[in-house]
A and B are shown apart, each in its own frame.
Chain A
Amino acid sequence: MIELTDVHKAFGENRVLRGVNLTIESGTSMVVIGGSGTGKSVALKCILGLIRPDSGEITLDGRDVTKGDRDAFLARFGMLFQGGALFDSLPVWQNVAFRLLRGSLKRPKAEAREIAIEKLRRVGLKPDVADNFPAELSGGMQKRVGLARAIAAEPEIIFFDEPTTGLDPIMSGVINELIREIVVEMGATAMTITHDMTSVRAIADNVAMLHDGVIQWTGPVGEMDTSGDPYLDQFIHGRAEGPIEAVR
């Protein structure tokens, strides 16, 4: 279980997180929605320790994430970055097997390659892309490689940062479906941040909406449409009028 308690983070004058409280139960899929620049990515990076919160507590299974063995902590996570964040100096299979080629999870090269190819197949890519470089792939394929890398070491927890941004609707559908399938078959805990409502409905067990630095609403995806929360309603229906000020 991941638990954020009263997490604050400011960048200079800009107070991005102003007391975030959020619980993600093990084995469930939480989707965090919210407008651009509301701090969704910051919250996610705080959990991973890529950004240090100014105050508040973040725990994983009851233990403070900032304490203890960092390697062991990170080995439990997989992450799909927004732009893929593939290492462009390495061929696709070495990107996927990155964690398996070094550090505590290191294994023989041939075995790592085999696992990489298996994971590539899992995300719908043929083995012949394994030796290509990331720059030679389309956006959708790069996303899939990023997904294969995130699941390569069989993590317990997977984070997805805007998994469908920049993809066409059909490819978005494919990625959403893949994420759902993988999370279910691995029994992983998932946290996704997105503002794509199709994604939300496809991936989420639970939804949380981040607005003005706090969680405005949280609940099961089924209750999202009947929440009665004016902020959430405005967001999921994409209305220009409402309590959330849109900059014109």
Chain B
Amino acid sequence: MSALARLLAAIGRAVITALAGVGRVTLYATDAVSHLARPPFYWREFGHALVQIGWLSLPVVGMTALFTGGALALQIYAGGARFNAETVVPSIVAIGLTRELGPVLGGLMVAARVASSIAAEIGTMKVTEQIDALTTLSTNPMKYLTLPRVLAATLALPLLVAVGDAIGIMGGFMVGVGRLDFGPGTYLKTTIDFLETWDVVSGLIKGAVFGFIVALMGCYHGMNSGRGAQGVGRATKSAVVASSVLILAANYVLTEVFFSA
């Protein structure tokens, strides 16, 4: 009996810890967003965050999209050939990229690149008392550090996804035309004819949500970093793991919502 009680207690503890974590993150997110309505807004920090999160993520997101588009074209050709439907390659590549793979893979790559660097930077600031110093200099760390980053990521990710979509479709086009004997004109025409606005827009909305998640997790884990190098290391790892898992979970929920709509 006592073994069973211990087991239940352990499960209970884990559940309570997890729920408390969700609560803390929710409060943190609400607090961060509430600062939008309360000046001052630090434009310089926001601009800097846009460059760091958006502009400098272009290469990695572009490469990911390019190779994914190419591989997708090959896979769909192989699958389509089994029931003589090779001609669907261009439209499936476009739909698959814009609705699903563009935002998800883009989000995950940005999570690896950005959530880690935000968590490490803010975590180091916390460990070296720079966050306390900010407060004593009458500057709210939430306004100065968190809000600009969260806002920049939420706005930059949809743009990154849009660029990624275009590059990914080009990857599919290159493989389709170079390897699979599609005519360039036919490939483009099929892509355009079957792609709907909502395919693209739903992917961009996903991108915005993923951007919010990435920056929020980076900031949250950085601000709650433990002491020393080990603390910062753990915060960085948690930020990447949490944002990746949350992106995949949010992706399912959003797809479910968009699918029913």
Once the chains bind, are B139 and A103 in contact (CB under 8 Å)? Answer: yes
A184 contacts partner chain B, Cβ-Cβ < 8 Å: no
Once the chains bind, are A87 and B133 in contact (CB under 8 Å)? Answer: yes
- B135 → A minimal CB distance (Å): 6
A45 to B128, CA, bound (A): 15
Give 1 or 0 for each of B110-141: 1 = CB within 8 Å of chain A CB.
00000000000000010011101111111100
B40 contacts partner chain A, Cβ-Cβ < 8 Å: yes
A33 to B150, CA, bound (A): 42
The number of A-B residue pairs with CB atoms under 8 Å apart is: 48
- B19 → A minimal CB distance (Å): 20
- B139 → A minimal CB distance (Å): 7
A86 to B136, CA, bound (A): 12
Residue among B42, B128, B129, B137 making CB contact with A98, cutoff 8 Å = B137
- A50 → B minimal CB distance (Å): 5
Once the chains bind, are A50 and B135 in contact (CB under 8 Å)? Answer: yes
Q: When A81-B129, A83-B129 are in contact, do A102 and B135 touch as well, CB less than 8 Å?
A: no
A215 contacts partner chain B, Cβ-Cβ < 8 Å: no
Once the chains bind, are B133 and A79 in contact (CB under 8 Å)? Answer: yes
Once the chains bind, are B137 and A48 in contact (CB under 8 Å)? Answer: no
Residue among B40, B125, B135 making CB contact with A74, cutoff 8 Å = B135
Given the complex, which residues of B lie within 8 Å of A75, measured CB to CB?
Answer: 138
Once the chains bind, are A83 and B136 in contact (CB under 8 Å)? Answer: no
Which residues between 91 and 124 of chain A lie within 8 Å of chain B, taking CB atoms?
98-99, 102-105
Given the complex, which residues of B lie within 8 Å of A103, measured CB to CB?
Answer: 40, 138-139
* Chain A residue nearest in CB terms to B129: A85
Q: When A102-B40, A103-B40 are in contact, do A48 and B129 touch as well, CB less than 8 Å?
A: no
Q: How big is the B interface, by class? A: 10 to 19
A160 contacts partner chain B, Cβ-Cβ < 8 Å: no
Once the chains bind, are B139 and A81 in contact (CB under 8 Å)? Answer: no
Once the chains bind, are B130 and A87 in contact (CB under 8 Å)? Answer: yes
Residue among A86, A88, A102 making CB contact with B139, cutoff 8 Å = A102
A104 to B40, CA, bound (A): 10
Given the complex, which residues of A lie within 8 Å of B138, measured CB to CB?
Answer: 70-71, 74-75, 99, 103-105
A82 contacts partner chain B, Cβ-Cβ < 8 Å: yes
A244 to B33, CA, bound (A): 49
Given the complex, which residues of A lie within 8 Å of B42, measured CB to CB?
Answer: 102
Given the complex, which residues of B lie within 8 Å of A98, measured CB to CB?
Answer: 137, 139
Once the chains bind, are A50 and B130 in contact (CB under 8 Å)? Answer: no
Q: When A102-B40, A103-B40 are in contact, do A48 and B128 touch as well, CB less than 8 Å?
A: no
* Chain B residue nearest in CB terms to A71: B138
- B27 → A minimal CB distance (Å): 16
Please report B residues at the A interface, Cβ cutoff 8 Å.
40, 42, 125, 128-130, 132-139
Please report A residues at the B interface, Cβ cutoff 8 Å.
45, 48, 50, 70-71, 74-75, 77-79, 81-83, 85-88, 98-99, 102-105, 149
Can you list 5 A-B pairs with a CB-CB distance of less than 8 A?
A: A50-B135, A74-B137, A81-B132, A83-B128, A85-B129
